[in-house]
Structure 1
Amino acid sequence: MDPPTAGLSRRGILGLGAAVAFGVCDSRPAAAWEPAPERTLRLFNRQTGEGFEGVYWAEGRPVTEAMARIDWVLRDHNGDICRRIDLALLNRLSEMQEKLDSPHPFEVLSAFRSRETNRHVEGAATGSLHLEGRAVDLRLQGRRAVDLYRCALSFGDGGAGCYAARNFVHVDTGPTRRWAGG
């Protein structure tokens, strides 16, 4: 007995592949097409005492009210200047919280900074990703900075800096870079 593709031209085989692929797609259960699961964050701004704890991503998209609250909590508190915080940064923080499995929120030391504020931060780069809402400096109660740093490194992309002496890490969504500070 000949195999099912015997005697088929290249075009026929490609057509068969399309038909099989179409049939597979058509036969998938609805659950396979559900949007990404909910994503949550726990944040506490050390400068203002404000926080966010909850779902910021649901049904395949950002939760508008949660995003507005996060933007406010992570604002430049010197002038109450808000900027949209990068969704990729929030996703990274959420993933880090899952990996670290801590009941405590991230203690945010600095997130969005205006140019004016950035000028007054010791050692801040003039092109800092804090200016774009793509960077955060943080710590986590009960964890050493090096533990957070290793967690950030485990993703393999973005920027990560460890400031062990001051017990905080820098995490950003820029090009892949690694450093240790004082």
Structure 2
Amino acid sequence: MNQRVIPSHTHGSGPPLARRGLLRLALGAGIGAVTAVRGTGAAAAPIPAPATQRWLRLHNTVTGERFDDLYWDGGRPVPDALASIDWLLRDHHCDRCARMDVDLLHRLSDLQARLPAHGPIEVLSGYRTAETNRRLVASGIGASPRSLHMEARAVDIRAPGVPARTLYRAALASGPGGVGGYLRRRFVHLDTGPERRWLGR
């Protein structure tokens, strides 16, 4: 059964964006496009051409919201599905979202296909506003001042029934970009920035 999350209203990283505006953005995404979102401007790693169909199963552990559906069909984005994913991956501290990098979604889809368990990927953190990121940096938990979360190009994830080390290894094979393993805290960071690998606390 599909569990597409359709928001009644959404907000972008700048002025508030209605869901209709997000759908227009999704329609303009094009095949294989990478969305430009204000941020650090870190170079993106090249991503292979996407498959004709792509599916994601996501669970936001903070809000409880879920997405379980195609977001890419016939070699093209599914606009309302992308809007739903953007909302699910929003900065829940202020209910603002941004157009998530489609290549990041492709990496998540590839990663999900590699996992031994078939449950949804649990999302701990997706898009962050600059204000939220500053608070996290000040809290001393290890957030980067130049985090790609602010560009909607990063997620922190878990997978139920999958050890963090197994998830980290699967993420390493999911395509180019950044992969960070936080094994003691049982989550993995995934992004579409320059290719790099690390193990954190």
Say yes or no: TM over 0.5: yes
**In the TM superposition, what whole-angstrom CA distance separates every residue of 1:29-85 from its partner, at most 9, and x where no partner exists?**
xxxxxx942100000001111111100000111100000000000000000001001
Residue aligning to 2:166: 147
Q: Letter of the 1:74 partner, please give it.
A: L
Higher relative contact order (CA 8 A, sep 6+): 2
Q: Which structure 1 residue ranges, 4+ long, deviate > 6 Å from structure 2?
A: none
**In the TM superposition, what whole-angstrom CA distance separates every residue of 1:83-128 from its partner, at most 9, and x where no partner exists?**
0010000000000111114221011000100011111222111110
Q: Number of residues paired by the alignment?
A: 148
Residue aligning to 2:106: 91
Residue aligning to 1:125: 144
**In the TM superposition, what whole-angstrom CA distance separates every residue of 1:108-152 from its partner, at most 9, and x where no partner exists?**
000100011111222111110000110000000001111111011
- Deviation of residue 156 (structure 1)? 5.2
Q: Normalised by the size of structure 2, how large is the TM-score?
A: 0.71
Identify if the C-alpha distance between structure 1 residues 79 and 40 changes in structure 2 by more than 3 Å, giving closer, same or farther.
same
1:37 aligned onto 2:56: no
SS, match of residue 42 in structure 1 = strand
**Residues of 2 paired with 1:96 and 1:177: CA distance?**
17
Where do 1:110-121 residues align within 5 Å? 110-121=125-136
Residue aligning to 1:164: 183
User: Any stretches of 5+ residues in structure 1 without a counterpart?
Assistant: 1-34
User: Any stretches of 5+ residues in structure 2 without a counterpart?
Assistant: 1-49
**Residues of 1 paired with 2:144 and 2:88: CA distance?**
23
1:104 aligned onto 2:123: no
SS, match of residue 82 in structure 1 = coil
Q: Is the CA contact 2:111–2:174 (under 8 Å) kept in the aligned structure 1?
A: no
Residue aligning to 2:91: 76
Q: Is the CA contact 2:107–2:175 (under 8 Å) kept in the aligned structure 1?
A: no
Residue aligning to 1:135: 154
Q: Normalised by the size of structure 1, how large is the TM-score?
A: 0.78
Residue aligning to 2:77: 62
Identify if the C-alpha distance between structure 1 residues 137 and 88 changes in structure 2 by more than 3 Å, giving closer, same or farther.
same
Q: Is the CA contact 2:110–2:174 (under 8 Å) kept in the aligned structure 1?
A: no
**Residues of 2 paired with 1:61 and 1:146: CA distance?**
33
Residue aligning to 2:196: 177
Q: Is the CA contact 1:156–1:176 (under 8 Å) kept in the aligned structure 2?
A: no
